[in-house]
Amino acid sequence: MTATNPGPAHSTSEAPFRLTDSETNPMCIYLVKNDSKGDKLLFRYPFHSFGGPVKVSLNDHKRSLHKDAGLEKTARPHDLTIFTDDVISSLFAVKMELCDRKFELKVNNVRFIGHPMQLQTGGNESTSGGGEGGNKKPQSPSIIMINIVFALDAFARRQISNCYYDLSKILGVALRHEEKRCAYLSSQIKDMLYIHDTMANECDLDSSTDNNKHFEKILETSSLALDLKSVFEGVVTNGLIKLKVNDWVDVSFCLPHKVHHFYRDGQYFEPESINKCLKGLRPYHGLLLMAERKVLLDNLPQDSSPSIVRLINMYNPVKSLETLSADSDLTLAQVFNIAGHLIYWGDAIVIFPLSETNMYAIAPNVPTERNNKFAKKFEKRFPGQKLLEVMSEFSFPTSLQYKMCPIEDKSSGSTTIQMLIWLLQHKMLLQYHTYVYFMPSSKGLGYYNDESEFHDYNNKHPSEAPMTTYQTLSENWLQLSSGGYSSSMSSAEEMFHSLDEDEQIALMHIPASANPDDFRLLMRLLKQGYLSGEHHLEEIMYLENIRRSELLKLLDKFKDVLVTVEMEDPIISNFYSH
Amino acid sequence: MEPLDPYDNPIKCIFVCHFHHTAGPKILCQVPKDFLSKDTFETVSVYMIPKGQLQKFIITITTRDNKILGYPIQINDQKYLRNAYYFNLCFVCDHNSHTLHYEPIVKKLSTFLLNLEIEDNFLSKSDQSEKSQEELLYLMSQVMQDLNLHKRCKLIARQSIIYLNVIEVSRNPPTPLDFDVPLLVSEIDYLDEQWDLTTRQVAPFIDGVNHVSKISKLSKLDIEVVAACIQNLVYCNAVSLVDLFRYSNMYVCTTKIGQLARNKSRYDEAISAISRPGGPKATFKDIFTVFSAMRQGSRFIDVCLRYNPVSINIDERNLVLYGLANGYIRQLRKYPVVLKEKDVDKTFMGNYYNGLNSLNIISCFTNSDVYQLDEEIERDIRIVSVWK
């Protein structure tokens, strides 16, 4: 073994999220105009070096059958140098028929996405703007086409390219508005063209086709170019864009797959999964803000709804959505909506409210490399603590109850909680819940019908109004049991008789069946559908108003007919890598 | 809305266009006739007959209704009026569909036409000659019909045959390591002619037990060839890669485990896959109970000691393989890390403990016993381990 060989193939020191980046990040942003004077690439960013480092592993080349299958060698991913500015401008200066709708052009491995827009310029009498271009003749109204285009990796998923389309459209609309208001766009275009022209004349002699210097100069003078640069940098760094076009129009945008990161290459947060998560959301779930409350409040746009501010002020990770709704005086539906909003913007994720009994363990795919960037971040936040050490303590399911040693003083407890919150915010921990299956006989799951013929697992809960269904279910039961002891006993009996013979015998063998209270409770849980592995203990406790100890005792008494499984809450699992 | 199956999108039209020396870009022939109007073609002709640099690039443009993909080709020759001839063969699909899988076909067909053109001006004379136009039309309609119906097409023109086959294009799966174990997730009929020779040689040894280097020994093939073949099978979703089966491994249930319990129609399949061969059948409850005992914190050996799978007719190896293949369980791996950089050289095999290699991998590559290694790691306070 040599010191230079630190191990097998996994060990190449790759930054986490490398592949992810190449799919979610644009390679370049372009601004092209087309008017009566012809088409022109006004600006692109970045203009110095194209693309990021291309990931090439020798090993891959040697063994791969699929390398470049169906792809031209001439255009490796990210190779934009083949597109000269002239080609770009001729490709993006679309015909009128293609305007005002999605523009999508794929050339080899690069996909260009934009929203070409036609707008009228110069009709406005406004005196504002106007470059130093000395062109003083009065402007007559004319039609101009502009196209803000993003270059993406062709393999980028459609949801991702759609986001860039939306972004291009939003920017275009903002520009159109500003053009109408004060001819901002035409003055910007004039400035850019002026720089292109004068600089082209200057370097006529060395006949360099390199326009990079033009773009550099444009970036120094043009506010629109600066905005495009900040858009590019925004989407590349954190997926968030907060912009004021011409210091007037607010443009806020977020790439959901960027703000929610995953530790696994190639996994993305699909906006669709927010809807899925919201449908499964229950009042007992809680929120976890991804940033400090203050930071979040400061970053909210000025015109944000006061309900959001109120909710954030009342926020606490130990509160359930129901409690939050009561504390901030909002309806549950409003809280759900705000939660969806916060999730979309990557400001929050859904968790089960922090409690001492929650079991946490390390989430899959988290980075464990020595001194990785998260470890450094963690040590900065909690001096003297090592992230990997803390993670190793969570390698086996651990609850807060266990972590918070009773002998130690309160202050160390609060650090423990802070660390737990940090780990949860970084999605390094996931929570295990216990699910119960009623399996009285060797045949398997008893009482419940086969899901393949009965219902689809994913659509199990009537999605529109989950709570009302729950309530009616419980109310039905209440009505049944309100008749007093005898009627609840008789419905338990009825339940028992609906089981098949083997199942009845198995139940009869259990001593606890003789205890009417235990027997009734079990039959009630069975009837409510809680014992088919779709409801974790906390949910059963919440819905049936049972204490944990009571439930655990029952599970223990009937352990011969029940099988318990530990797993994460499927509703929340969208937030984690798998 | 996304189409249900993005790969089940028929070709709506195939056309060949070229640059006419006086009329400019124009459609030479299309099937079905008059699918693209002249106006529609003109709005996108810049992408069909593009500027010089973009020759031999696969270009896809989306219009309101259609997605058009082509592979423009330029032939420089004195015999043409402009000293060059430009043409493009294009497929038209629905604007919402995925067309990545048609790209190799468009390229192949274009190259095929290129050869015909070089040989006897097949395309450039189609403008005048009825006969060659008809031949082109016939070829195009055959391609479209066969690809839409059978996903493959055998085209015979002149003296040559070309085969076209629609295949899914996606990213490359990672290259298998020497100690990865391929596990069949869908049945391969390795006598089937559609598999290449290597696959047919390798497939009989894929049993969820043999790792890549062992398969290479058993099949007497070079390990690189075997790895490439396994990678190909992963790409086809026929195989997934798992770790070597060891009792020291740890598995946990995934959120899919509930489907196993609730989908009673699949009980029999699970029972026959997991029961010990030749003995009485295991019961479903026992199987599920053993699965449910796979929890973070208990190694598989602990699970086996607790339930003694032999006594309940469960083949523990098949239990794990069945669980992994169906995604009911996943494996947790132990990642040892030497915490401080300066301790790396002082620790035995310290440079392996960088947090990127799992214990299993390290033991495979250093040919050492997992249990012994584990003990050493546990004893060394400079090393922490994370199960993930």
The verdict on a CB contact (< 8 Å) between A369 and B356 is yes
- Which of B107, B172, B356 lies nearest to residue A64, judging by beta carbons? B172
Q: Are A314 and A328 in contact (CB under 8 A)?
A: yes
Band (pLDDT 50/70/90 cuts) for residue A204 is low
Mean pLDDT across A92-121: 91
- Which of A82, A367, A566 lies nearest to residue B295, judging by beta carbons? A566
For chain B, the helix, strand and coil percentages under 3-state DSSP, each to the nearest 5: 40, 20, 40
Q: In 3-state terms, what secondary structure has residue A550?
A: helix
Band (pLDDT 50/70/90 cuts) for residue A332 is very high
A117 strand-pairing partners: A146
- A160-174, A262-276, B161-175, B336-350: which has the minimum mean pLDDT? A262-276
Distance from CA of A518 to the nearest CA of B (A): 23
Mean pLDDT across A31-37: 91
The verdict on a CB contact (< 8 Å) between B47 and A441 is no
Query: CA A556, A560, A566 angle in degrees (round to 5)?
Result: 65
Mean pLDDT across A65-69: 40
Other Cβ atoms less than 10 A from the Cβ of B11: the count is 21
Distance from CA of A214 to the nearest CA of B (A): 23
Which residues, given as ranges, of chain B have pLDDT below 70? Answer: 1-8, 170-171, 190-192
Judged by a CB distance cut-off of 8 A, whether residue B244 touches chain A is no
Q: What is the largest CA-CA distance in chain B?
A: 86
Q: Residues of B with CB below 8 A from A8's CB?
A: 177, 357, 361, 364-365
Q: Residues of B with CB below 8 A from A370's CB?
A: 337-339, 341, 354-355
The verdict on a CB contact (< 8 Å) between B103 and A362 is no
The two tokens of residue A372 are 């990785």
> Which of A46-50, A216-220, A402-406 has maximum average pLDDT?
A216-220
Q: In 3-state terms, what secondary structure has residue B75?
A: strand
ipTM: 0.80
Q: Are A17 and A52 in contact (CB under 8 A)?
A: no
Band (pLDDT 50/70/90 cuts) for residue A474 is very low
Q: What are phi and psi of B323, to 5 degrees?
A: -60, -45
Q: Residues of A with CB below 8 A from B175's CB?
A: 9, 59-60, 63-64
Distances from the Cα of B66 to the Cα of A117, A160, A561, B35, B40, angstroms: 20, 20, 59, 11, 10
Q: How far apart are CA A358 and CA A23, in angstroms?
A: 36
Distance from CA of A405 to the nearest CA of B (A): 21
Which tens digit of pLDDT belongs to each residue from A414-439? 888 899 999 999 999 989 999 999 99
Amino acid making up residue A115? H
The verdict on a CB contact (< 8 Å) between A65 and B231 is yes
The verdict on a CB contact (< 8 Å) between B292 and A565 is yes
- A252-261, A387-396, A480-489: which has the minimum mean pLDDT? A480-489
pLDDT of residue A553: 94
Q: Residues of B with CB below 8 A from A3's CB?
A: 345, 351
The two tokens of residue B78 are 């004195």
pLDDT of residue A43: 92
- A39-48, A65-74, A521-530, A569-578: which has the minimum mean pLDDT? A65-74
Mutation test of the interface with chain A: which of B57, B90, B289, choosing the one with the most A Cβ atoms within 10 A?
B57
Q: How far apart are CA A423 and CA A351, in angstroms?
A: 12
Query: CA B324, A445, B306 angle in degrees (round to 5)?
Result: 60
Distance from CA of A441 to the nearest CA of B (A): 7
Nearest CA to B250 among A569, A394, A395?
A: A395
The verdict on a CB contact (< 8 Å) between A444 and B267 is yes
The two tokens of residue B129 are 């000659």
Those of residues 335-374 in B touching chain A at CB distance below 8 A are: 335, 337-339, 341, 345, 349, 351-352, 354-357, 361-362, 364-366
- Tell me what percent of the residues of chain A surpass a pLDDT of 70: 77
Those of residues 42-61 in B touching chain A at CB distance below 8 A are: 42-44, 46-47, 50-51, 53-54, 56-61
Q: In 3-state terms, what secondary structure has residue B125?
A: coil
Is 80 exceeded by the pLDDT of residue A476? no
Band (pLDDT 50/70/90 cuts) for residue A59 is very low
The verdict on a CB contact (< 8 Å) between A8 and B357 is yes
How many Cα atoms occupy the beta-carbon half-sphere of A303 within 13 Å?
A: 4
The verdict on a CB contact (< 8 Å) between A448 and B262 is yes
Burial zone of B377 (CB within 10 Å; 0-12 exposed, 13-18 middle, 19+ buried): buried
Those of residues 292-331 in B touching chain A at CB distance below 8 A are: 292, 295-297, 330
Judged by a CB distance cut-off of 8 A, whether residue B261 touches chain A is yes
User: What pTM value is reported for the model?
Assistant: 0.81
Is 70 exceeded by the pLDDT of residue A20? no
- Which of A10, A105, A395 lies nearest to residue B385, judging by beta carbons? A395
The verdict on a CB contact (< 8 Å) between B296 and A396 is yes
From B179, which residue of chain A is nearest by alpha-carbon distance?
A8
State the pairing for strand pair A429-438/A398-399.
unpaired
Nearest CA to A259 among A270, A251, A248?
A: A270
Q: How far apart are CA B79 and CA A156, in angstroms?
A: 43
Q: Residues of A with CB below 8 A from B47's CB?
A: 91, 105
Which tens digit of pLDDT belongs to each residue from A5-18? 333 333 333 333 33
Distance from CA of A95 to the nearest CA of B (A): 6
Q: How far apart are CA A46 and CA A360, in angstroms?
A: 43
Distances from the Cα of A170 to the Cα of A117, A152, A163, A326, B312, angstroms: 11, 18, 11, 37, 64
- Tell me what percent of the residues of chain A surpass a pLDDT of 90: 37
Q: Residues of B with CB below 8 A from A118's CB?
A: none
- Which of B51, B261, B284 lies nearest to residue A87, judging by beta carbons? B51
Which tens digit of pLDDT belongs to each residue from B296-349? 889 999 999 999 999 999 999 999 999 998 999 999 999 999 988 888 888 888
- Which of B46, B258, B339 lies nearest to residue A388, judging by beta carbons? B339
Judged by a CB distance cut-off of 8 A, whether residue B3 touches chain A is no
The verdict on a CB contact (< 8 Å) between B60 and A106 is yes
Amino acid making up residue A313? N
Distance from CA of A116 to the nearest CA of B (A): 12
State the pairing for strand pair A286-289/A249-254.
unpaired
The verdict on a CB contact (< 8 Å) between A66 and B231 is yes
Nearest CA to B81 among B14, B127, B40, B41?
A: B127
Distance from CA of A152 to the nearest CA of B (A): 14
pLDDT of residue A138: 52
Q: Residues of A with CB below 8 A from B352's CB?
A: 6-7
